[in-house]
Structure 1
Amino acid sequence: MSCNANPVVRPIDHLAECGADNAPALLLRGGTLNHKDLRERVARLAGWLKSQISEPGARVASWAAKGELTCLMPLAAARAGLVHVPINPLLKRTQVAHIVHDSGTRMLLGTPSRLTSLEPGDCPADCLVMAEDEALAAAMYSQPLGPSDSDPDALAAILYTSGSTGKPKGVMLSNANMWLGADSVADYLGLADDDVTLAVLPLSFDYGQNQLFSTWYAGGCVVPLDYLTPRDVVKAVERHRVTTLAAVPPLWVQLTELDWPTEVAANLRRLTNSGGALTIELVRKLRGLFPAARLFPMYGLTEAFRSTYLDPALVDSHPTSMGKAIPHAEILVIDDHGQVTADDAEGELVHCGPLVAQGYWQDPVRTAERFKPAPAASSYGGMAVWSGDRVRRDAEGLLYFVGRRDAMIKSAGNRISPQEIEEAALASGLVAEAVALGIPDARLGQAVHLIARPLAGISGFEEELPRILLQQLPNFMQPKVIHWREAMPISPNGKIDRTGLYQELAA
């Protein structure tokens, strides 16, 4: 089945049916699976999952590095009528425990080293915990399941993302959300069946997951890579003749600092960026290093997958633009009165259309804050995602980012909740008050800075707090700097003056 030639909305597991039998689909450490192999592995894993959990809509989670399990689970779980919950392998047991309990996970599959870090009570009592190798071995002997006939609007995945306050929240994605996302990206990137995508981004995020979906939709091949150093990326591009590379700004910065052999750089047909804006200088470096590659700056949010992309033909002339709406998305800039703004006037970016997610899992309060009726000007109507991001639209229809309304920290492509870091610091028993901020950083986009006031009478806190945070938080949440204060500044409303602290540290 050529999915590019027949863009009917289907259940997400049908992506396994898109490529030609003998064409490569997934390059793993143990060898390459062609698209026929991919279909068989997805079918057997789905059959095994259904034999273990017969309840439709039950949640199954994966917590492992990139490999066969994490690549196949999004399709196999959906085919079995289950809901996949991919967990970032960088998270530690505290965050994982929250996710599996919040989602009501019935099965957790992962690498043994991660699973052994869990403690009693971290998983629900009815949750089956199993090592990924054991699950894959059992699946090889299971009865295969053919392509599903699930409702395209049925819930297929819950992706957990940090909020500006509180613990990670689960974004609910339907089959249609993910299928149309694959169709959209394969379309505007111009992916083809001879493309090879190097999947360096985490598969627990929408941007990372779509590396799989859009490539398989086009009938191409994915090479998963958990890299240790940026040079590993260069070597992989050379070894596998990679044509497509998706990354976030901090990785692009590191990659532009390396020597790229001309013939290796020439392999790349397209570069895509999201998770933060590219600077004009970084655009210049990328264009110089990869003159044959088309550069796609993009903007997205998990609640609506992706919203805009900039046509590569406009990158040199409009390097700071977010571009225009991707296929299947309607993007409106709305003023404080609910009306579409005039050209060059600032407003809120509102995303309408079939890529809009189904809300936050079991969280009607936060769902109501972000998912609201579409503006009257929308041609789609229904529910829309009100992003909270301030943008402007010029006379050509190109969008430009102005600022972020919430307090989210974006560091190395990760969206980080300040409150999670603050709560971990307070829970240490060393800190009376804590504020986490994202301070502009040339390499990370934003670096995490923690401002803390120690509890009276406590000694050794300067050495002890970093050690505790290293145990409790994943690496990407670790403060780059901890600033100790005898007193916190107070704003006129009686709260800690976060704005003043930010201005002081960012100066």
Structure 2
Amino acid sequence: MPHQPDPLPRPLDHLAELAGAAGRGESPALVLREGTLNHNQLRLRVARLAGWLAREVPEKGARVASWAAKGELTCLMPLAAARAGLVHVPVNPLLKRAQVAHILADSGARMLVGTPSRLATLEGGDLPEGCAMLDESAALAAAEAAGLELGASQADPAELAAILYTSGSTGRPKGVMLSHANMWLGAVSVAHYLGLAEDDVTLGVLPLSFDYGQNQLLSTWYAGGSVVPLDFLFPKDVAKACAKHGVTTLAAVPPLWVQLTEIAWPAEARAPLRRLTNSGGALTVDLVRSLRGMFPQARLFPMYGLTEAFRSTFLDPALVDTHPTSMGTAIPFAEILVINDAGEVAADDEEGELVHCGPLVALGYWQDPERTAERFKPAPAASQYGGMAVFSGDRVKRSAGGLLYFAGRRDAMIKSAGNRISPQDIEEAALATGLAAEAVALGVPHARLGQAVHLVVRGDAAGAEELPKRLQRDLPNFMQPQMIHWRDAMPINPNGKIDRTALQAELNKEFGE
């Protein structure tokens, strides 16, 4: 990698052209269960899928959604849709019908491609008017049969390329709008500071609907390396895949890292690893020590990010042992300011809000100017980039040495097993059953999950047996409450609203780990 990354953004689909142009076309790019695609084959498959998409959905800027496990389609769609002039909407494969229907309606999707078993769960009215639905195998076969190879696009890097849906602290999931430049520069930045190279093999264990998961593909391909997508059932499957494929780069969220440190790792699985990366929650000091002990040859990269700006900071692996709780410093193309309550740049060790400026800042929330205005605001006067900035809502401190430290979260999001969960989604599902008159979902500290979901319900306790069954049907697994607490009455605050703060304190005291 160059000493400084190239700051010039390009159309996202140009990632498919890089390896071949650099003479690396015959090296592996994507290792699938059914076979391996080299970089030349990857470029050809992207061109054909893009050509077919452009024929099937000729309206530029139309949204095309994918809802499937990791495979050729989900890996190629980010580049193929961008080349076709379309906007990709990757849907988390763990979501269920109601959440998917909302995303399809909100985005106005013109096409949904997915796993047949998932598509079969949709009901009448779940697809927007005029939205085509195809299973992924049929779509790939149709693209190959059509033979319409679309060359590299000349898209304006500022154009919209993808909408990633993420839960907000209130309301339904928000669609974060990402430009070609956002995603291209994110790939360049990560490839640079991780030091990715042509001989690197990345194990893709994270969902491709997340920015962290999707960047595993884009940054690795930018560097000319290969990706092994993996949907796993047990932590040992990850270790087996590392041994089988000679994995050099492994990314995970803290709860998965905990599980991975609890299994036996054969020498052939550990030896090839060069780097471990973490985001989606802070690593504990004990977990840092466990990872450093198990993988002493691998560099550990703790990272902090938010979908609205992809990634903000990383901690230099050389500092991990001496500063294990630090968030580090800004990644390339990110400017991180700490703004105090007076609206000024905070002094050393003074708490303030993390504000992210620069070209990684997203375009806002899809068709939601009100919520966009709450989070995306003109950059503070101290910013070197100017333009729009993301005000994260997270409280941090910057030490005299320049390292950032997390102080607290301002919003009400539940962060469990690396998932950002809107309490309202769980509360609405509980109320919709008719078994609960009132419902409050809260995150309670948990050693393995970060936070465990607890649901406090006012209603007839006769429904105690039925409510978990209904929620199991209506919500994805990562949203399921670990415990449901039945109450005769909810605490009320002076404003006449349910006192969530009092409930939180009570549950933290009784059940927090």
For normalisation by structure 1, the TM-score amounts to 0.98
Pick one of 201, 206, 209 that aligns with 1:204.
209
Tell me which of 105, 111, 117 is aligned to 1:107. 111
Following superposition, the deviation at residue 430 of structure 1 comes to 0.6
1:80 matches 2:46: no
Aligned CA distance change for structure 1 residues 342 and 137 (closer, same or farther; 3 Å) = same
Q: Aligned pair in 2 of structure 1 residues 376, 6: CA closer, same or farther (>3 Å)?
A: closer
- Which residue matches 2:492? 490
Aligned-residue offset at 1:6: 6.0
SS in 2 for 1:505: helix
Partner of 1:66: 70
User: Aligned equivalents of 1:283 and 1:459: distance in 2?
Assistant: 43
Structure 1: which amino acid aligns with 2:73? L
Indicate the residue corresponding to 2:433 in structure 1: 428
Tell me which amino acid in the other structure corresponds to 2:105. Answer: H
Contact 2:29 2:226 in 1 (8 A): yes
Letter in 2 for 1:175: H
Q: How far, CA to CA, are the matches of 1:204 and 1:214 in structure 2?
A: 15
**Bigger mean CA deviation after superposition, 373-382 or 491-500:** 491-500
Q: Find 1:118's aligned residue among 102, 122, 127.
A: 122
Distance 2:283 2:224 in 1: 30
Distance apart, 1:460 and its partner CA: 3.4
Distance in 1 between residues matched to 2:499 and 2:402, nearest whole Å: 38
For residues 230 and 151 of structure 1, what CA distance do their matches in structure 2 show?
Answer: 42
| Cα distance in structure 1, aligned partners of 2:170 and 2:9 | 35
Quick one: which amino acid aligns to residue 66 of structure 1? K
Tell me how large the CA RMSD over aligned residues is.
1.3
Cα separation, partners in 2 of 1:6 and 1:303, compared to 1, 3 Å:
closer
Residue number among 133, 136, 143 corresponding to 1:139 in the alignment: 143
What residue number does 2:42 align with? 38
After TM superposition, list the pairs within 5 Å mapping 1:63-462 onto structure 2.
63-141=67-145, 142-454=147-459, 458=460, 460-462=462-464
**C-alpha distance in structure 1 between counterparts of 2:78 and 2:107, whole Å:** 16
Give per-residue Cα distances to partners, 1:120-159, cap 9 Å, x unaligned: 0001120000110000000002310011000000000000
Q: Describe the SS at the equivalent of 1:73.
A: helix
Residue deviations 1:62-116 (CA, integer Å, cap 9, x gap)? 0000000000000000000000000000000100000000000000000100001
1:276 is paired with a residue of what secondary structure? Answer: coil
**Separation (CA, whole Å) in 2 of partners of 1:422 and 1:459:** 17
Tell me the SS of whatever aligns to 1:323.
strand
Give me the whole-angstrom Cα distance separating, in 2, the residues matched to 1:312 and 1:241: 22
User: Could you tell me whether the CA contact under 8 Å between 2:309 and 2:390 is conserved in 1?
Assistant: yes
Query: Which secondary structure does the structure 1 equivalent of 2:455 belong to?
Result: strand
Distance 1:384 1:336 in 2: 17
Structure 1 residue 274: Cα displacement: 0.3
Q: Which amino acid aligns with 2:182?
A: N
Letter in 2 for 1:333: V
Alpha-carbon separation, structure 2, partners of 1:394 and 1:233? 37
Q: Aligned letter for 2:167?
A: S
Query: Residues 319, 6 of structure 1: CA spacing in aligned structure 2 closer, same or farther, 3 A cutoff?
Result: closer
Tell me, which stretches of 5 or more residues in structure 2 are unaligned? none
Q: Secondary structure at the match of 1:302?
A: coil
Bigger mean CA offset, 348-357 vs 458-467 = 458-467
Aligned-pair CA distance for 1:262: 2.7
What secondary structure is seen at the aligned counterpart in 1 of 2:308? Answer: helix
Instruction: Give the Cα–Cα distance (whole angstroms) in 2 for the partners of residues 271 and 493 of structure 1.
Output: 47
In structure 2, the residue corresponding to 1:303 is in which secondary structure?
Answer: coil
Name the % identity: 75
Distance in 1 (CA, whole Å) between partners of 2:138 and 2:242 is 31
* AA at the equivalent of 2:386: G
Once the two structures are superposed, what CA deviation does each residue of 1:228-279 show, in whole Å capped at 9, x if it has no partner?
Answer: 0000000000000000000000000000001112332121100000000000
CA shift digits 1:402-427 (9 cap, x unpaired) = 00000000000000000000000011
SS of the equivalent of 2:489 reads: coil
Aligned-pair CA distance for 1:493: 2.1
In the TM superposition, residue 5 of structure 1 has moved relative to its aligned partner by 8.2
2-side partners of 1:221 and 1:459: how far apart? 53
After the TM superposition, list the runs of 4 or more consecutive aligned residues in structure 1 that deviate by more than 4 angstroms. Answer: 4-7
How do 1:463-478 residues align onto structure 2 when only pairs under 5 Å count?
Answer: 463-478=465-480
Name 1:479's counterpart in structure 2: 481
Alignment-derived partner of residue 18 in structure 2: 18
SS at 2:238 equivalent: helix
Q: Partners in 2 of 1:505 and 1:111 — Cα distance?
A: 39
Amino acid at match of 1:506: N
Counterpart position of 2:501? 499
Q: Secondary structure of 1:331's partner?
A: strand
Q: What's the CA shift string for 1:426-484, capped at 9, x where partnerless?
A: 11101011000000001100000000011xxx463111100110111000000000011
**Post-superposition offset of 1:7:** 5.8
Matched letter for residue 245 of structure 1: L
Report the AA paired with residue 224 of structure 1. Answer: P
2:220 is paired with a residue whose SS is helix
Structure 1: state its 5+ residue gaps. none
Does the 8 Å contact 2:5/2:189 carry over to 1?
A: no
CA contact (8 A) 2:441 2:454 kept: yes
